[in-house]
């Protein structure tokens, strides 16, 4: 290979390296103090942060993201207060308790006010009780204090398809709640005891958050839903209002005369800003939601209002 070809090859390699570095800078997130960056929704002055709990109580990476936002809000001295917007029918008991615990820690550090949306029931309401005050629209569906579990029985379908399943176990109750056979009375009692523990924890969280006697919460906690107007009258919420009302109250509790409402977003480079978060028309998020729904076929307890949909 002659000298000109060597020079051309060297220049080509250098161009590829520079292109790779440039693309890396375009796609890499901007450096920031925290994982999340802020975007202003409205207002001016010191920060009031909006945390949003929309849809079913999240699990997996979405849960980690919410907890990460909550931690950053708690640790960032520039965030003076937080408003939690809840529009959720609830979800898994473990995930709901994890969110409540993080929000309770946040509320101990700085003012946290909840705003209930269209549906803030069961686990959605559970999370809101961590706030110092709760605002609700008069037509909000809330309450639904209770525990539920669905256990599909598939043995009849398998028999019709001519499929036999043999289950081998060590431990008399190892295949309990598998869905391949009906529950025995003993198994049903065991599961009901587990559900009772989760129910009592829910009642305890409501009593703590709302400053109500346990006996009063038990009276309200028969699983029924309440309107926002009823919730205020019963002490399950503080007053009627919407998101901006809750934000102003959070700012007031923080001693702010004016405030800027901000929301967290993931830091993105220039290419990320141009392309957005994923596939167009929400295909990525819809696919993820469908996958999560299909994957949650195992037995589990939930703080969920089924009027909000199975998923």
Best CA proximity match to 130, nearest among 65, 208, 64, 63: 208
Residue tagged 């109250």 (tokens)? 249
Residue 64: count of CB within 10 angstroms of its CB? 12
CB distance 136 to 245 below 8 Å: no
Of 13, 33, 174, 266, the active-site residue reads 174
266 is catalytic: no
Residue 168: count of CB within 10 angstroms of its CB? 6
Phi–psi pair at 95, nearest 5 degrees: -65, -40
Tens digits of pLDDT across the chain (311 residues)? 566 665 566 666 666 655 554 554 444 444 444 589 999 999 999 999 999 999 999 999 999 999 999 999 999 999 999 999 999 999 999 999 999 999 999 999 999 999 999 999 999 999 999 999 999 999 999 999 999 988 888 888 878 888 888 888 888 988 888 888 888 999 999 999 999 999 999 999 999 999 999 999 999 999 999 999 999 999 999 999 999 999 999 999 999 999 999 999 987 655 455 545 444 333 444 455 445 544 555 677 888 888 755 44
Residue pLDDT, tens place only, 39-68:
999 999 999 999 999 999 999 999 999 999
SS3 61: helix
User: What tokens does 129 get?
Assistant: 């009780």
Which stretches of the chain are DSSP H helices? Answer: 3-27, 60-75, 93-109, 123-128, 155-160, 185-210, 214-220, 228-234, 243-253, 270-275, 283-295
Best CA proximity match to 140, nearest among 224, 260, 240: 240
> What is the DSSP-derived secondary structure letter of residue 168?
-
4 is catalytic: no
**Rg of the chain over all Cα atoms, to the nearest angstrom:** 25
How many angstroms separate the first and last alpha carbons of the chain? 65
Q: Which residues contact 299 (CB under 8 A, 6 or more apart)?
A: 149, 151, 177, 178, 179
> What is the DSSP-derived secondary structure letter of residue 184?
P
Of 88, 110, 115, 122, the active-site residue reads 122
* Domain 33-269+281-308, CATH number (from 1.10.10.10, 3.90.226.10, 3.20.20.80, 3.40.462.40): 3.90.226.10
CB distance 305 to 225 below 8 Å: yes
Query: Is 0.85 surpassed by the pTM of this model?
Result: no
CA atoms lying within 13 Å on the CB side of residue 160: 3
Give the span between the Cα atoms of 31 and 52, in whole angstroms. Answer: 24
Tell me the CA distances in angstroms from 306 to 187, 225, 270, 309, one per residue in order. 24, 11, 42, 5
């Amino acid at each position: 290979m002659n000298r000109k070809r060597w020079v051309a090859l060297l220049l080509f390699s250098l161009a590829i390296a520079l292109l790779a570095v440039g693309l890396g800078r375009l796609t890499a997130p901007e450096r920031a103090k925290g994982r999340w960056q802020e975007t202003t929704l409205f207002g001016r002055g010191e920060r009031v942060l909006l945390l949003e709990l929309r849809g079913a109580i999240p699990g997996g990476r979405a849960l980690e993201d919410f907890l990460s936002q909550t931690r950053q809000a708690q640790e960032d001295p520039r965030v003076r207060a937080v408003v939690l917007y809840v529009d959720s029918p609830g979800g898994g008991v473990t995930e709901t308790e994890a969110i409540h615990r993080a929000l309770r820690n946040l509320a101990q550090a700085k003012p946290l006010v909840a705003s209930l949306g269209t549906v803030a029931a069961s686990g959605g309401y559970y999370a809101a009780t961590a706030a110092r005050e709760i605002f609700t629209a008069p037509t909000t569906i809330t309450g639904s204090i209770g525990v539920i579990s669905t256990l599909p029985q598939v043995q009849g379908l398998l028999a019709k398809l001519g499929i036999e399943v043999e289950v081998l176990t060590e431990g008399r109750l190892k295949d309990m709640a598998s869905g391949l056979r009906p529950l025995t009375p003993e198994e049903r009692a065991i599961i009901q005891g587990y559900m009772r523990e989760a129910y009592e924890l829910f009642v305890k969280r409501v009593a703590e958050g709302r400053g109500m006697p346990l006996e009063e919460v038990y009276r309200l906690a028969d699983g029924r839903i309440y309107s926002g107007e009823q919730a205020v009258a019963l002490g399950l919420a503080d007053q009627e209002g919407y998101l901006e009302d809750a934000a102003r109250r959070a700012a007031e509790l923080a001693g702010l005369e004016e405030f800027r409402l901000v929301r967290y977003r993931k830091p993105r480079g220039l290419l990320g800003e141009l392309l957005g978060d994923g596939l167009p028309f929400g295909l990525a998020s819809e696919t993820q939601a469908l996958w999560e729904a299909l994957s949650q076929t195992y037995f589990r307890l939930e703080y969920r209002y089924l009027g909000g949909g199975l998923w």
